[in-house]
A = this chain, B = another copy of it.
Amino acid sequence: MSATAAKRGQKNWPKQVEAVCVRQGLQLTPLRRRVLSILGESAAPLGAYAIIDRLSKIEGKQIAPPTVYRTLEFFAENGFLHKIESRNVFARCEHVGHAHYGALLLCETCGRSEEIEDEALDEFLKRTAARAGFALQPQMLELQGLCKSCAAAARGA
């Protein structure tokens, strides 16, 4: 994805979420809108406490963790957000409303994540796991590496 496309995705994400909420009768409350906006503006996925801090600034008073964790849970349950378990951060879903076969590509240098959909990957994994008698759940892989620009920078250095 180009940098332009990434920016477009970032800008559109709150609107996409709002559209799905309207369609499905989900309450997009003021609190949820504020958290949506915080997540929407971040270049890289955010941790819960980073969100708590920003929200507290906006509200002008200290917000307690459960407030934010519950909001994040709401977004994750409804497919708007991915929790990245290997880093304890939350990333916008870049395919709101789509089926999810694929992976999150996580850059170790800049912290950004990119989401790819790939049914062939899903199939490959299922077959690989099946050889060991294992039945995989549907899931987003977390793959660690370097994004295009950080890899280029590393080569240049």
**Residues on A close to B: CB < 8 A?**
1, 85-86, 103, 105, 107-108, 114, 116, 118, 120-121, 124-125, 128-129, 131-137, 139, 141-148, 151
Select one of B118, B120, B146 contacting A135, CB under 8 A.
B146
State whether B116 touches A128 (Cβ < 8 A): yes
State whether A116 touches B137 (Cβ < 8 A): no
State whether B124 touches A148 (Cβ < 8 A): no
A-B contact pairs, 26 of them (CB 8 A): A85-B85, A86-B86, A103-B125, A103-B129, A105-B129, A105-B134, A108-B137, A118-B128, A121-B125, A124-B124, A125-B143, A129-B143, A132-B148, A133-B147, A134-B145, A134-B147, A134-B148, A135-B145, A135-B146, A136-B144, A136-B145, A137-B144, A137-B146, A139-B143, A141-B143, A142-B142
